[in-house]
Amino acid sequence: MKLTRHNLTIAFLAVVAVMAVAALLGHPLVSPDALAGLGLLPMAMSGEIDMKEIKTLVEKQGEAWGEFTRKNDELLKAKAEGKAVADLQATVDKINGEFKKLNDDLVELAKKSNRPPVGTGDKKELSPEQVEYKQAFGKFLRKGDDNGLDVLQRKAYNSGSGPDGGFVVLPEMDSEIIRIVGVTSAIGRLARNVTVGSDTFKKMAKKSGMSARRVGPGATGGETATPQFAELEFTAHEAEAEPWIFNSTLDDAIINLEQDLTDEAAIAFSELAGVEFANGTGVGESRGITNYPTVANASYAWGKLGYIASGAAGAFAASNPGDALISFQHSLKAQYRPGAAFITSDAVLGQIRQMKDGSGNFYLWQPDPLAGFGGRLLGSPVEIDDNMPALAANSLSIAYGNLRQGYVVVNRSGTVVIRDNITAKGKTKFNFRRRFGGGVQNFEAIKLMKFAAS
C-alpha cells in the first residue's frame, strides 16, 4: 500500500481511538495530559496547519491539565480539612481561565484549518451556464452591473431574482454560510439540518407507540393502545446581514471579494442562529431549547422538556455535586444516549472540571481529542456553546440529549444579496437575506438541568 499523508492520518486516528477507549475503561496507555492535544495532529500531518503550532498547543494543554489537577486536589483536601482556601481557589480559577483560553485557541485553529477558500472549486464541475453566471455575479458585486444577470441566473440555477430585486449568491457562498453556522453553534452542528424549498417544514412525530399483552389459548383481550402522533411545523424566518465595503476596495482586484463577503455574512448569521437555537422565542425566529415549557423529569409529558434539579439555586449542590450530573445523564432514555452530548457554556464547564466522584479518586471530566475540545463528562462528549444561559437561580444552563433526534434546523434554499451603493457615500452595502429556523422535534431526546434546589 502506498504510504500517503491520508493513510498516515487514518492510521494515527485508529491509534488515538484505541488509547481513548483504554483511558475511558480506566487503563490509559498514555497519560491524559499527553492524550489531550493529540486530536489536532492529523491537521498537521495533512499540511493544513503548522506542526510547530500544534506542538506548542499540545505541550501547553498537557501542562495546564496536569497543573490544574494538582492544585485542585490541594483545594479539595484543604476544604475537607476546614482550612482557608481563598488563595488556592484563586490559583485554581486562574489555571482554569488559562485552560479555557487554550481551548479557545484550539477551536480557532480548527476553524482556520477547516475553512475552504471560496471559489477554488474545480470549474469542470460547473456547467457553462453556471460558469458564465459566476463571472457575471463577480462583476455585479464589484461594479453593480446586473445587465442580463437575471437571465443568466435562471439558466444556471433555475431561479430568478427575488421580489425585492436581489440575486441568489453562488452555491459555494451559500454552503459556506451554512457551514460556518455549524462551526459557531454547537446546537446547530449537532441538530438535524434540512433544506426546504418553501417557508415551512412539517413532519409527524410519534408521541407514543402501541402496546401488547399476553392472552390465553384461543382467547382475545380486545384492543390495545394505539400509536399517538403529533404534527409539528417549523418555519424558516427571514434574517438579514448587511456588511459594507469601501468603494476603493471594490476596485482592488487583489481582494477576494466573494470570500470577504461570505465571511462577514456567515459570522453575522451564525451568531444570530447560535443565540436563537439556545434561547430563541419562536416568534419570528427559531425556538431555542431553553425556551420550551419544562417539567420535572419524573412528570415528563410530550410538549415539555424534562429537567433535573442541580440541588441548589443558581449553583451545584455544596456536597457531592456530581450526583446530580449522574442523575441528569440517566434521565435520558438509554435509546437516546448513544450519540448524546452535554451542551453548556465554558464558564459552567470550568466548574464541572473541578468535580470528582464520590470516592475522590477520579475527575468526572476528562480531556479527549476524539470528543472535541469540550472533552468527556461521565463518558459522554461535552460541547461548548456560550449561548447557553449563565448560572442563575432557576437557569437552564446545561442540556443533555441526542440533538440529531431532538432538534431540527430548517434552511430555506438560497441566499439573496442586494447591492446598495447609494445610501452611504463612499461605501457599498451588501444586504444578504436568508431564511432559517429551528425547534424541538422530539421532546424525549433532550433533557435540561435546572439550577434550583428542586
In the predicted model, what is the mean pLDDT of the chain? 77
17 is in which domain, residue-wise? 5-114
Place of cell 415551512: 200
Q: Hey, how many other C-beta atoms are within 10 angstroms of the C-beta on 202? A: 10
Give pLDDT, residue 29.
Answer: 43
8-state DSSP, 291? S
Of 374, 408, 405, 368, the C-alpha closest to 388 is 374
CA quadruple 18, 19, 23, 27: dihedral sign: positive
CA quadruple 47, 53, 56, 60: dihedral sign: negative
Asked if residue 72 is part of any domain, the answer here is yes
Asked if residue 145 is part of any domain, the answer here is no
Asked if residue 76 is part of any domain, the answer here is yes
Asked if residue 68 is part of any domain, the answer here is yes
Segment 411-443, tens digit of pLDDT: 987 778 887 878 878 888 888 888 999 999 999
- CB contact at 8 A, 430 and 169: no
Asked if residue 101 is part of any domain, the answer here is yes
Whether the pLDDT of residue 160 is over 50: the answer is no
Tell me phi and psi for residue 108, to 5 degrees.
Answer: -65, -40
Segment 259-288, tens digit of pLDDT: 777 777 888 888 899 999 999 999 999 999
pLDDT grade for 88, boundaries at 50, 70 and 90:
confident
Burial of 72 (0-12, 13-18, 19+ CB in 10 A): buried
Segment 372-418, tens digit of pLDDT: 667 899 999 999 999 999 999 999 999 999 999 999 999 987 778 88
- CB contact at 8 A, 235 and 199: yes
Buried b / exposed e across 395-429, counting CB within 10 Å, b at 16+?
Answer: bbbbbbbbbbbbbbbbbbbbbbbbbebeeeeeebe
Retrieve residue 100's grid coordinates: 479555557
Asked if residue 209 is part of any domain, the answer here is no
Asked if residue 17 is part of any domain, the answer here is yes
Give pLDDT, residue 172.
Answer: 59
- CB contact at 8 A, 71 and 91: yes
Query: Which stretch of DSSP H or E encloses residue 339?
Result: none
What total of structural domains would you count in the chain?
1
Give pLDDT, residue 219.
Answer: 76
Asked if residue 19 is part of any domain, the answer here is yes
